[in-house]
Amino acid sequence: MSYRQNIQLTADKNLKHFLSIEGLPRAMLMQILDTAETFSSVGERAVKKVPILRGKTIVNLFFENSTRTRTTFELAAKRLSADVLNLNIAMSATSKGESLLDTLSNLEAMQSDMFVVRHAQSGAAHFIAKNSPEHISVINAGDGCHEHPTQAMLDMFTIRRHFGDFYPLKVAIVGDILHSRVARSQIHALTTLGANEVRVIAPKTLIPANIESMGVHVYHDMRKGLTDVDVVIILRLQKERMGGAFLPSVQEYFQAYGLTEEKLAYAKDSAIVMHPGPINRGVEIASSIADGPRSVILEQVTNGIAVRMAVMSMTMGSYSAPLSTDQSLSANKRGASS
Amino acid sequence: MSYRQNIQLTADKNLKHFLSIEGLPRAMLMQILDTAETFSSVGERAVKKVPILRGKTIVNLFFENSTRTRTTFELAAKRLSADVLNLNIAMSATSKGESLLDTLSNLEAMQSDMFVVRHAQSGAAHFIAKNSPEHISVINAGDGCHEHPTQAMLDMFTIRRHFGDFYPLKVAIVGDILHSRVARSQIHALTTLGANEVRVIAPKTLIPANIESMGVHVYHDMRKGLTDVDVVIILRLQKERMGGAFLPSVQEYFQAYGLTEEKLAYAKDSAIVMHPGPINRGVEIASSIADGPRSVILEQVTNGIAVRMAVMSMTMGSYSAPLSTDQSLSANKRGASS
Amino acid sequence: MSYRQNIQLTADKNLKHFLSIEGLPRAMLMQILDTAETFSSVGERAVKKVPILRGKTIVNLFFENSTRTRTTFELAAKRLSADVLNLNIAMSATSKGESLLDTLSNLEAMQSDMFVVRHAQSGAAHFIAKNSPEHISVINAGDGCHEHPTQAMLDMFTIRRHFGDFYPLKVAIVGDILHSRVARSQIHALTTLGANEVRVIAPKTLIPANIESMGVHVYHDMRKGLTDVDVVIILRLQKERMGGAFLPSVQEYFQAYGLTEEKLAYAKDSAIVMHPGPINRGVEIASSIADGPRSVILEQVTNGIAVRMAVMSMTMGSYSAPLSTDQSLSANKRGASS
C-alpha cells in the first residue's frame, strides 16, 4: 500500500481525493465506472440536474489555461447543483506576490469544499491535497507530465460501454508517450483493470526509458503495433514538440504515425478509435477516421461529464454506486497495480 | 418559402432557431412579442426567476467581445433558471488549432441545449445552426453586417408598447445603414409587421446600393426625413468608420445627422426616440435628447431581457404565448416579408 | 446628521447602501455584527445556502482588479441564492467610449438590484449610489484611499468574537496609514464602537497630517506603540510605495515596522494579530507570527463571508437581526462617531 493510496483514500477505503490512477485498486476504478453509469442518464433528461452537491462550493483552480477541461468540470459541478468559482490563478492574487499556500489557505477559509486543479508541474495536485485540511477534496485535472486521471477514467468508461469487459482487450496507445499525462493515466488504468495487452506505439524519441516496467509492450512500427488490437488511442501531438530534437516534421510524423485507413486496417474489424482532443486533423489522425464510424471521440466528451460527476460525488462522500462483491473479489485476484 | 424560413422553423411551424428576421412570417413575430409580454413582469417581481429552462445548458459563444449583449442574454437565461456557460472563443481551444466545427461538436457532446452566437462574419449563426444536431437551438446575437434579430424584436416590442399597432406608423432609421446589422433586422421587422412607412436617413456613402428593394424610402436630409415620423431610431456611429472614405469628421456628422432638438421638431409631437446603445453623446445624438422625455433608450434595455427570454423559451419548445386567430389571418392578408 | 448618513440610511433608519463606516451610528454597526452572527453558521452547514436573495441580480462592478475581494462577495451572494454578474469594467463597454453613468443606467435598466463597487477613485461608490434609482443598493468594496467598510466590519466581527466587547480594548494599526482605505474604515469603526484606545504606528512619511482628529494616538516606534495592546492590525505594504520618497527599502521597513516575535512580546499575552491579506511574508509580518497561535488572519477571511452576507441582506431589506434596546441606548450614550 503506497503513500499515494493513503492520501487518496479515507481510513475506511472510500475515495477522498482523485489525484492519480496509480495507487488505486481495481475495485475502486470499477466503482467509479459504476457510479458514472448512474449519472450518464442525467445529461439526457429534460432537467439535467440532480441536487447531490447543492450548497457545496467547488473551485476550479486552473494554473494552466484549458477551456475544454474547465468547461466539462464546470458543467459536471452545475449538474450536481454545486456553486462553482472559476479562478485563473496565473492572473490573480499570486501576481500580488502571495504564495500558493497562502492562496489555498484563503480559499479554504472561504469554506470551499473541493479544488479542481490543473498545473504545469507534476505533483501539484498531490502537494495541494497534502496541504489541505480534512474537509477539502482535491481532483487532479492534469499535472505536468504526470497524470490526468479523469481523462483516463472517461476513456475506460467509453471502452467498457463498447466491450463490456477489459480482460480480452488489446489496446494500443499511439503518440508522444514521453510527455503525455494522459498516456500514463491510461496505462495505469488499463493494467489495473486487467486488459489483456497494452501497447505503446511511437518513435524512440517519444518513449520513456523504462516504460516496459509499467506492463506495456513497445512498438515503433504502426502496422505491427496496430495488428489485432481492439482499441486504438491516438494522443494529441503538441505542436511545440515539432521541429526540434524530438520530431522531424508534421508531414513525416503523419507519414509514420498518423492514423490512416490503411494503417487502421491492421486492427480488428470491431476496433474503436479514441482521442482525448482537441484533435489535429492531418497530423496525428486523418479526418476520414476522426469523423468515421469507428471513431468514438465525441462519446468520450459526453462520458467525461458523467465520469467527472461520479468522481466529484464520490470524493465528497455524497453518492457512490455500491461495491459489487464480484468486483472486490476480482480486485483481490487480479487487480494489482504496477 | 425560403431556405432561411426552413431552417428557423420546425416542420409544424414553431420557432427552432432565431437567426434572422428575414424569412419569418408576421404571425411568428407577433407571437414573439406576445410571449415577451408575458415575461416582462418577471423582472419586476421580488423573485426574478421562472423555472422554465431549469436544467438546460446555454452556451454564450462570443467570437466578438460584447459585455452588454452577453450580459442581457446571461440575465435572460438565469431568469429562466438555465445554467449558462460563457465562452470567449477567440481566447480558447481554437487557439490550440481546433477548427470551429470541432469546437461545436465538443460543446454538443457536452449536451448543450442552446448556442447564443456573436460573430464578425455574416452568416456565422446560420452556418452553425445548419451544422448542429437536432436538439440544439441557435440564437443569432449579431453576425457581421447581416442581422441582429433580438435587437430588432426588442425595438418592435418597445414600439408596440407605445403605439399599440404598427400599421399607422412612420419610422425613420438614421445613421450608418450600410454597415448596420441592427438596421437590416429592423427594416425586415417593420415591413413584415406592416408599418405604414420605413425611411432610412444617411449620407450617400452609408446607404447600401439596392436598399429601396427592401421597401424603404431613402433620405439624405434629416429635416425632410424626420418630417411627420412617429419613431426615430438613431444608430450608433462606429468610430472606426470616421475620418476615412465614409465620413468627414465627427463634427460634420453631428452637424448634418446628429439628432438635436431642432431636427427632432420636424417629427410628430408624440414621436419617440430609440437607440440600440451604447450611445455616443454629441456624435449621433445630443445629450438633451438621449436623457429627455421622448427617449425610450433605457426601456429598450429593459425590454431586451423579456424579448430574449421569449426567444430562448420558444426555440426550446418550452413556452410560447398562443397564436391569436386574428394574427394568423393578418399574416395571410398582409404579413408578407420582402 | 451628515450627508453621508442620509445617503446610507432609509427614512426609517435602515441600511440602504453600505459606503463608509463614517456616518453610521454605533447601533447600526452592532446590528451588522449581530446579523453576520446569524449567517456565520451557514458556511458550516452541509448545504451552504439560504434563499434570502433568491431571484435578485447582484452586479460585481470591479473597476480595479481584485480576485480575492470579488470572490468573497460572489460567494456571499451565491450563499444567499442571488444571481451574480461579474463585470470587469476596465475591459468592457467603457472601452467603446460609453460614460460611467450610461453604463450604470443600462445595468439599472436590466433590473439589477445591487452594485458591489471597487474603484481606484475615492468617492466612486458614493457617486454611484447618489446617481442610482431608488431600487438599487450600492456596497463599497474599496474606493481609492477612502474606505473599505466591509473589511473593517469583518475585522470588528473577528475582534468581538475574541473579546466580546470593544470598551476595554487597546488596538494598534501598523503600516501605511496614509494610503490605506482599510485603516480609515477600521479607525471609524473602532472609535464608533467605543474601543478604549486606537493607536496608529508608522514612519512619519506614512501618517496623514491631521490623523489625531480621528481620535487616534500616533506612534513611530513599534515597541512603544505595541505596549499593552489587545489587538495588533498589520496592514499590507504596497510594493509600489517602496524605494521612492515614502520608504527606504523592504529590509529597513521590516527591521523597524515588521511584526516579529520580539516586538509582539510588548503586546498583552492575550493579544491577537490581524491582517487584511494578502500578506507579504518577511515584509510587514514574520512568517512565524502569520502562521502562529495568535494569528487570526484566516478567521478574518471566513468571517468576511458572513459579514458580506449580512450587509447584502440588510441593504436589500431582506433580513436583519433585531436592534437590541441595549444597543440603541448605548449608541445614545457613547456611540458618537468622530
Helices (H) and strands (E) in chain C, counts: 13, 9
Chain B residues closer than 8 Å to A239 by CB:
97
Whether A59 and C71 have beta carbons less than 8 Å apart is answered as no
User: Which stretch of A178-187, C57-66, C291-300 has the lowest confidence by average pLDDT?
Assistant: C57-66
Any CB–CB contact under 8 A between C133 and chain B? Answer: no
Closest CA to C249 of C236, C206, C241: C241
Chain B residues closer than 8 Å to A278 by CB:
93, 96-98, 102-103, 106
Chain C neighbors (3+ CB pairs < 8 Å): A, B
> How close B34 gets to chain C, by Cα (Å)?
20
CA dihedral B180, B186, B188, B189 (to 10 degrees): 160
Identity of the amino acid at C202: A
Given a cut of 90, whether residue B109 has pLDDT beyond it is: yes
In angstroms, the CA B39 to CA B108 distance is 28
In chain A, what are the domain boundaries?
3-146+301-321, 149-298
Mean pLDDT of chain C: 90
In angstroms, the CA C156 to CA B14 distance is 59
Side by side, which strands form the sheet with A57-62?
A: A83-88, A57-62, A114-119, A137-143
Any CB–CB contact under 8 A between A239 and chain B? Answer: yes
Q: Cβ–Cβ contacts within 10 Å for residue C120, how many?
A: 12
Whether C305 and C8 have beta carbons less than 8 Å apart is answered as no
Rounded mean pLDDT of B90-117?
A: 81
CB contact under 8 A, B111 and A278: no
End-to-end CA distance of chain A: 12
- Of the candidates A74, A278, A280, which has its C-beta nearest B85's C-beta? A74
How long, in residues, is chain A? 338
> How close B62 gets to chain C, by Cα (Å)?
14
Using 50, 70 and 90 to split pLDDT, how confident is the model at A79? very high
Contacts of C99 (CB under 8 A, 6+ apart): B281
Alpha helices in A97-235 (DSSP H): 100-109, 124-130, 149-163, 181-192, 222-226
Whether B232 and B267 have beta carbons less than 8 Å apart is answered as yes
Residue of A nearest to B317 (CA): A46
Higher pLDDT, C242 or B317: B317
Rounded mean pLDDT of C91-113?
A: 79
Fold of C3-147+301-321: Rossmann fold (3.40.50)
In angstroms, the CA B140 to CA C232 distance is 57
CA distances to A153, B115, C151, C278 from A301, rounded to whole Å, are: 12, 18, 43, 38
Given a cut of 70, whether residue B210 has pLDDT beyond it is: yes
Any CB–CB contact under 8 A between B249 and chain A? Answer: no
Cis peptide before C278 (omega within 30 of 0): yes
Identify the pLDDT of residue A247.
74
Rounded mean pLDDT of A146-150?
A: 97
CB contact under 8 A, C44 and A111: yes
In angstroms, the CA C335 to CA C33 distance is 15
Identify the pLDDT of residue C248.
74
CA distances to A254, B184, B332 from B214, rounded to whole Å, are: 52, 9, 20
By DSSP bridging, strand A217-219 and strand B57-62 are: unpaired
Q: What are phi and psi of A261, to 5 degrees?
A: -55, -40
Any CB–CB contact under 8 A between C279 and chain A? Answer: yes
Any CB–CB contact under 8 A between B48 and chain C? Answer: yes
Mean pLDDT of chain A: 90
In angstroms, the CA C144 to CA C142 distance is 7
CA distances to A70, A115, A279, B326, C52 from A62, rounded to whole Å, are: 8, 10, 22, 56, 31
For chain A, how long is the longest CA-to-CA vector? 57
Rounded mean pLDDT of A208-225?
A: 96
Rounded mean pLDDT of C99-107?
A: 90
Using 50, 70 and 90 to split pLDDT, how confident is the model at B250? confident
- Of the candidates C45, C49, C71, which has its C-beta nearest A110's C-beta? C71
Is domain B149-298 annotated with CATH 3.40.50.1370? yes
Using 50, 70 and 90 to split pLDDT, how confident is the model at C137? very high
> What percent of chain C lies above the pLDDT cut of 90?
79
Helices (H) and strands (E) in chain B, counts: 13, 9
Chain A residues closer than 8 Å to C49 by CB:
54-55, 83
Identify the pLDDT of residue B238.
80
Residue of C nearest to A109 (CA): C302
Chain B residues closer than 8 Å to A67 by CB:
87, 91-93
CB contact under 8 A, B72 and C102: no
Optimal mutation site among A45, A48, A83, A281, interface B, most CBs of chain B within 10 A: A48
Identify the pLDDT of residue C90.
65
User: Model confidence over C42-55: pLDDT tens digits?
Assistant: 988 889 999 999 99
User: Model confidence over A267-302: pLDDT tens digits?
Assistant: 999 999 999 999 999 999 999 999 999 999 999 999
Identify the pLDDT of residue C243.
60
Which helix (H) or strand (E) segment holds residue C118: the answer is strand C114-119
Residue of A nearest to B83 (CA): A78
The SS3 assignment for A142 reads strand
User: Model confidence over B51-95: pLDDT tens digits?
Assistant: 999 999 999 999 987 888 999 999 999 999 999 998 877 655 445
- Of the candidates C43, C78, C304, which has its C-beta nearest A83's C-beta? C78
Whether A193 and A337 have beta carbons less than 8 Å apart is answered as no
- Of the candidates A55, A87, A92, which has its C-beta nearest C47's C-beta? A55
Any CB–CB contact under 8 A between B305 and chain C? Answer: yes
Any CB–CB contact under 8 A between C75 and chain A? Answer: yes
> How close C167 gets to chain A, by Cα (Å)?
28
In angstroms, the CA C112 to CA C104 distance is 10
Beta bridge partners of A172: A199, A232
Closest CA to B266 of B216, B314, B222: B222
Identify the pLDDT of residue B91.
52
Higher pLDDT, C194 or B332: C194
Whether B183 and B243 have beta carbons less than 8 Å apart is answered as no
The alpha carbon of residue B6 and the mean position of all alpha carbons in its chain are separated, in whole angstroms, by: 20
Residue of C nearest to A91 (CA): C67
Residue of B nearest to A279 (CA): B98
Chain C residues closer than 8 Å to B302 by CB:
109-111
In angstroms, the CA C17 to CA C5 distance is 10
Q: What CATH number belongs to B3-146+301-322? A: 3.40.50.1370
Given a cut of 80, whether residue A329 has pLDDT beyond it is: no
Whether B167 and B195 have beta carbons less than 8 Å apart is answered as yes
Residue of A nearest to C240 (CA): A96
End-to-end CA distance of chain B: 12
Any CB–CB contact under 8 A between C47 and chain A? Answer: yes
Q: What are the DSSP E strand ranges found in chain B?
A: 57-62, 83-88, 114-119, 137-143, 170-174, 197-201, 217-219, 231-234, 272-274
Rounded mean pLDDT of A6-13?
A: 90
Rounded mean pLDDT of B253-263?
A: 96
Residue whose C-alpha cell is 458572513 = C306
Chain C residues closer than 8 Å to B279 by CB:
98, 102
The alpha carbon of residue A10 and the mean position of all alpha carbons in its chain are separated, in whole angstroms, by: 22
User: Model confidence over B259-301: pLDDT tens digits?
Assistant: 999 999 999 999 999 999 999 999 999 999 999 999 999 999 9
Optimal mutation site among A71, A81, A281, interface B, most CBs of chain B within 10 A: A71
Contacts of B329 (CB under 8 A, 6+ apart): none
Which helix (H) or strand (E) segment holds residue C61: the answer is strand C57-62
In angstroms, the CA C150 to CA B294 distance is 41
Chain A residues closer than 8 Å to B96 by CB:
278
User: Model confidence over A37-64: pLDDT tens digits?
Assistant: 999 999 888 899 999 999 999 999 999 8
Identify the pLDDT of residue B328.
44
CB contact under 8 A, B55 and A45: yes
Chain A residues closer than 8 Å to C280 by CB:
97
Given a cut of 60, whether residue A332 has pLDDT beyond it is: no
Asked whether the domain spanning B149-298 has the same topology as the one spanning B3-146+301-322, the reply is yes
User: Model confidence over C176-224: pLDDT tens digits?
Assistant: 999 999 999 999 999 999 999 999 999 999 999 999 999 999 999 999 9
Identity of the amino acid at A91: M
Any CB–CB contact under 8 A between C90 and chain A? Answer: no
Q: Cβ–Cβ contacts within 10 Å for residue C194, how many?
A: 18
CB contact under 8 A, C72 and A110: yes
Whether C144 and C167 have beta carbons less than 8 Å apart is answered as no
In angstroms, the CA B14 to CA C127 distance is 48
CA dihedral B320, B321, B323, B324 (to 10 degrees): 180
Identify the pLDDT of residue A114.
98
Any CB–CB contact under 8 A between C109 and chain B? Answer: yes
CA distances to A303, B148, B307, B328 from B116, rounded to whole Å, are: 24, 12, 14, 28
Highest mean pLDDT among A4-8, B101-105, B218-222: B218-222
Chain C residues closer than 8 Å to A106 by CB:
68, 277-278, 298, 301
Q: What CATH number belongs to A3-146+301-321? A: 3.40.50.1370
- Of the candidates C47, C68, C299, which has its C-beta nearest A54's C-beta? C47
Helices (H) and strands (E) in chain A, counts: 13, 9
Optimal mutation site among C52, C98, C106, interface B, most CBs of chain B within 10 A: C106
How long, in residues, is chain B? 338
Rg, Å, chain A Cα set:
20
Optimal mutation site among C47, C65, C68, interface A, most CBs of chain A within 10 A: C68
Given a cut of 60, whether residue A326 has pLDDT beyond it is: no
Contacts of A335 (CB under 8 A, 6+ apart): A25, A26, A27, A192, A193, A194
Whether A335 and A192 have beta carbons less than 8 Å apart is answered as yes
In angstroms, the CA C293 to CA C295 distance is 6
Whether B289 and B264 have beta carbons less than 8 Å apart is answered as yes
Chain B residues closer than 8 Å to A46 by CB:
55
User: Model confidence over C301-331: pLDDT tens digits?
Assistant: 999 999 999 999 999 999 999 987 555 434 4
In angstroms, the CA C31 to CA C8 distance is 15
Which helix (H) or strand (E) segment holds residue A304: the answer is helix A297-315
Any CB–CB contact under 8 A between A101 and chain C? Answer: no
Whether B228 and B170 have beta carbons less than 8 Å apart is answered as yes
Fold of C149-296: Rossmann fold (3.40.50)
> How close B58 gets to chain A, by Cα (Å)?
11
ipTM of the complex: 0.89
